[in-house]
Structure formats: structure tokens, C-alpha cells
Structure 1
Amino acid sequence: MNFWVTYYLADYVSLNSTQERAFERNLDIALVIHRTKELPKFHRLIDELQADLAKPLSFNQIRGYYLKFTEAGKESTSVFSKPFAAMIQSLSASQINELNQNIEKKIEQVIAKRKRLSPKEKMVIRRDKLQDAARGWIGSLSNKQKAILLELTEYQVEMEPIFFSIWRDFLRDWQELMKNRNKPDFEPKLNVLLQQLIAFENARVQPDINVYLARRFDVLRRLNHTLSGKQTRYLNRKLVDMRKDIAMLINEK
């Protein structure tokens, strides 16, 4: 994982050899902490989810698991924000400018690509992605299940302007934070910003996000209630494999 993080980071900022070695050392420390303290939380959550999936899940159960996994993700973010904060504080003004420009470029490229599409094209692309993702979890889809997922497709296309505004708000807050990267409270502020991003939190549009999430939970509830025995077994095998993979990482020396 250390290699891949450094590899993808190179798409955003060019580190010198000293910066790269320091980042890799700090990242190695964070990975050990994450493996021993954070990954077991995901292992337990998946185990708990498997037990609950013996019966169809309620809306509140689905919402509860979303909140639990999101909280675990935020706690993982706290571990990795430390090496990233240290790396950012080591950057020169020109490197910060490079980093900011590349983040903005990535965000605006995605937005521009979506804006070129017609509403129908957006629906088709999003529908196909959702169906592919669902098949990855349950193996196959009935016509009824495709119709249920189509509702989520419509919600997501409808929410695109909100999603775009969240990314642009993040970019604005990120750039402002970079101006204050040498202040003592930089690391906790970076951690909060990254946690808000992964948790889908944005005070300005939170009511819209909450409505969307409630719709998504209801779609997932109805989809869960339509699962056949074969689909349920497929899902269970996927979760077993995930737990095994996480267990291997936890026990990695």
C-alpha cells in the first residue's frame, strides 16, 4: 500500500528525495497503527453485518451501518492525516501551487466531462455503473431489482449540482487551509476537512444530502428485501472474503 499511495501522490505533487523518504517513513508508521487499531473495527462491523443479514434489514439498520462504517472511515482518516500533514508542511510554495492546481484540475475535469453529457447519457452511464456495482455484491439482478436501482440512478443524477458544489467547497477550503499550513492547528484542521469529505458532510447543503441519503437507504432496504437465496449466499461469500482479506492485513508482519 505504501508504494501505491506514493505512486498516486506523484500525480499531484513532485516530492524531492528527502521529502519522499520522510513521507514513506511516516506513512509506514501510520499503516502499522491502522492495521492494528483501525482495521479490526471494519472486521467486527462486517461480522456484525453478516449476522444481521440473516434477516432482511430495516431502514434504521441500513442507516445505522452507514453511520458505523462512516465513523470507522473517519477514524482511519485521523491516522493517515498525520503523515499527509507532515508532508504538506514540508512543501515549498511552488510545490503547494502544483498540488493545488492538480487537485483543482482533477475536480474540474470530472465536472466538465459530466456537463457535456445529456440528461439521458448521464442516466445510462450512472445506471450501468450502479448495476455493475450491485452485481459485484449479489451476482445478478432481476428486472424488479433493476427498476429499484433506477430510482437511485435518478436521485444521483438529480443531485449532481449538489455533488459538484461539495467538491468545489472542498477545493475552496483546501486552498485556504494550505495558506495556513505552518500554523500549529494545521493537522487537526486538515483531519476535519478530510473527514468531512469522506463522510459526505457539508453544512451549506447538509439538508439536501440528508434527503438524498434517506432515499438511498430506502432503495437499499427494498433491494435487500428482494434478494433471492442465491443472491444472499453470493453476498455472504463476498463479505467472508472481505473479512479474510482484512484479517490477513491485520496479521501482516
Structure 2
Amino acid sequence: MRKCRWLVLVICFLFTGCGTKFAYNNIGWFVVSYIEDFVSLSNSQESELEERLDILQKWHKETQLPLYISQLEAIRNVDRSDMNPAFIVGQSEETKEHIRSIVNKFAPDIYALSMQLTPKQDSEFLKNFREKQQDYYEERLLLNDEDSRERYRNRIEERLERWLGSVSKEQKQIIYTWSLEWVNTNDNWRQYQNNTYQDLTTLMEKKSDLHIAQPIIMNLLLNNEAYYPDELESKLNKNMQTSAKFLVDIAAISSDKQWAYFMNELESLKGTLESLQE
């Protein structure tokens, strides 16, 4: 089920420099705690999940961290003047592949554990899942178009400050133009939520029928695109291309101080990832 997505998010945070060695080494505790926000686990279920997470972490440390380090080195080796949209899109796809690798590795474990949930646990999970979907909808997807674009601008600016240290007036103007070209997908994500919830409901009702349950679980874990409404994928691709274009523009006018800050952040992140291998 989609409960494993938090694990993926944690790994993503580590990859973008927001994690710590403590968090990584205690990932099992954090994941179990988060999952129990959705469903109360028995002692045996919790122990089994922790064991499986320990195995996943060992695999991740040995096989995935070196890939992240290699990608960081590739980014550091690209000259600012050679930065182009194709390179940025390629880095985005490579990062997505890292995430897919984790999900593919852990999917059989999540499937096995989901089959152990009792009907009462299934109901609890479904109720909490829907409530959290609704919270997300009210916080983000209910925003009108103008507010959504403002939120998008603020998020871009925060991320750029994270990597460049500051954002110039000229770069803020690029961000503003970027937000105007961004395709608002709020309505599509709302439909995606509904599609996901509908399949989860079917799963809870038909879990004993593996011909129905297994394809649903595999879609939830490995093929989220199956729940995309019409046009969402094309809109996301359009937004990716738009992002790449404007990131190149921002890099092109970045100051030497900003670029040095970016390089230092990449080096620091590389050091963090190398320490996680110890």
C-alpha cells in the first residue's frame, strides 16, 4: 500500500541534504511511527516491519548511496555555461529512478505485510488515509489559481535559497514568469486522490481475492500513473520542461558567489552521503 511512500520521502530528503545521519540510522523507528498514524500495528507486525526495514536499509546503503554520490559528482562537474534543459530533465529522471528502485525493492515486503492486516486494521487505515487526503485537499488543492501560483512561486524561491544562499531581484522576476507558465494541476490531483481511494476501498473489501487484490496493490506501489486522470501526465511533463527552461535561465544569471554556494552545498551533501556509508 501507499504507506511506504514516507520511506521514499525520507530518502529523498536525505538526497537533497535535509536528512541527518541520526535519521538515516533510525529510519525504521521513524517509518513505524509514521505508519502508526494510519493504522495501529500489533507487536508482531511492528517487529516484522522493523526487520524488513533493516534489510532494506542495508541494501540501500550498499547499492543506492554510491549512485547518489555519483550523480552529485556529475552535477558538480558540469560547467555553469554548459547547463541546459536536457541535463536538468535528465537529472530529474535519474532521481525518479532512484525512488523507483527503493519502491521496487520494498514492494514485496509491503504486499506481505498488508495481507496480515485484520479487517479492523483495514478500516482504521482507510479512515485515516481519507482524512489525511482531505487535509491535503483543504490545505493545497482548494486554493484558487492565483493563490496556487503564489504558493508555487514561494516554494521555488525557498528551494533556490536553499541551494544558492540568496535569490536576486532578476531571479525573482524569472520565478514570477515561471509561475505564470506553470500549468495548474490541482483539479487533476483531486481526481487522482479519488481514484486512489476508490481502489483502496475495493482492496479492503476484496483482499481475500488475490485476482483482485494483487493487481491493485501492485498499482498502488509500482504504478501510481494508473490513477492519473486524463491529461495529468502531459501536464506534469509540460511543467517539467518549463522548470528546466527557467532553471537554466536562473543559473545563467547566477553570481559567482551563488554558484560557489551551490557547489559547496553539493560537496557538503556528498560528504553527508559518504558518512552514511560508514
TM-score bucket (shorter structure): 0.7 to 0.9
Between stretches 44-53 and 202-211, larger displacement belongs to: 202-211
Aligned mate of 2:274, from 220, 238, 247:
247
- Structure 1: 5+ residue runs without aligned partners? none
Aligned mate of 1:237, from 252, 264, 267:
264
Please name the residue that 2:20 is paired with: none
Cα distance in 1 for partners of 2:158, 2:172 equals 11
Which amino acid counterpart does residue 41 of structure 1 have in structure 2?
L
| Counterparts in 2 of 1:192 and 1:103: CA distance versus 1, 3 Å | same
Please name the residue that 2:247 is paired with: 220
SS in structure 2 of the partner of residue 84 of structure 1: helix
Q: Is the 8 A contact 2:85 2:245 kept in 1?
A: yes
Aligned mate of 2:104, from 67, 78, 87:
78
Between stretches 60-69 and 81-90, larger displacement belongs to: 81-90
Aligned mate of 1:66, from 71, 79, 92:
92
Cα distance in 2 for partners of 1:191, 1:156 equals 31
- Structure 2: 5+ residue runs without aligned partners? 1-26
Superposition map of 1:1-253 within 5 A:
1-114=27-140, 117-156=143-182, 158-179=184-205, 181=207, 183=210, 190=217, 192-197=219-224, 202=228, 204-205=230-231, 206-251=233-278
TM-score, normalized by length of structure 2?
0.79
Aligned residue pair count = 250
Between stretches 11-20 and 147-156, larger displacement belongs to: 147-156
Between stretches 201-210 and 6-15, larger displacement belongs to: 201-210
SS in structure 1 of the partner of residue 152 of structure 2: helix
Between stretches 157-166 and 129-138, larger displacement belongs to: 157-166
Cα distance in 2 for partners of 1:52, 1:173 equals 44
SS in structure 2 of the partner of residue 227 of structure 1: coil
Between stretches 212-221 and 138-147, larger displacement belongs to: 212-221
In the TM superposition, residue 161 of structure 1 has moved relative to its aligned partner by 1.7
Between stretches 6-15 and 211-220, larger displacement belongs to: 211-220
Q: Is the 8 A contact 1:81 1:187 kept in 2?
A: no
Cα distance in 1 for partners of 2:142, 2:212 equals 40
Cα distance in 1 for partners of 2:170, 2:197 equals 39
Cα distance in 2 for partners of 1:52, 1:188 equals 42
Q: Is the 8 A contact 1:85 1:186 kept in 2?
A: no
Let me know the Cα RMSD of the aligned residues: 2.7
- The superposition leaves residues 137-156 of structure 1 with CA deviations (integer Å, 9 ceiling, x where unpaired) of 11001111112222343455
In the TM superposition, residue 202 of structure 1 has moved relative to its aligned partner by 3.4
Cα distance in 1 for partners of 2:176, 2:159 equals 13
| Counterparts in 2 of 1:61 and 1:117: CA distance versus 1, 3 Å | closer
In the TM superposition, residue 30 of structure 1 has moved relative to its aligned partner by 0.9
Between stretches 169-178 and 60-69, larger displacement belongs to: 169-178
In the TM superposition, residue 178 of structure 1 has moved relative to its aligned partner by 4.8
Cα distance in 1 for partners of 2:191, 2:182 equals 14
Cα distance in 2 for partners of 1:227, 1:104 equals 43
Q: Is the 8 A contact 2:195 2:227 kept in 1?
A: no
Q: Is the 8 A contact 2:178 2:243 kept in 1?
A: yes
Which amino acid counterpart does residue 150 of structure 1 have in structure 2?
Y
Between stretches 6-15 and 158-167, larger displacement belongs to: 158-167
Cα distance in 1 for partners of 2:234, 2:185 equals 12
SS in structure 1 of the partner of residue 166 of structure 2: coil
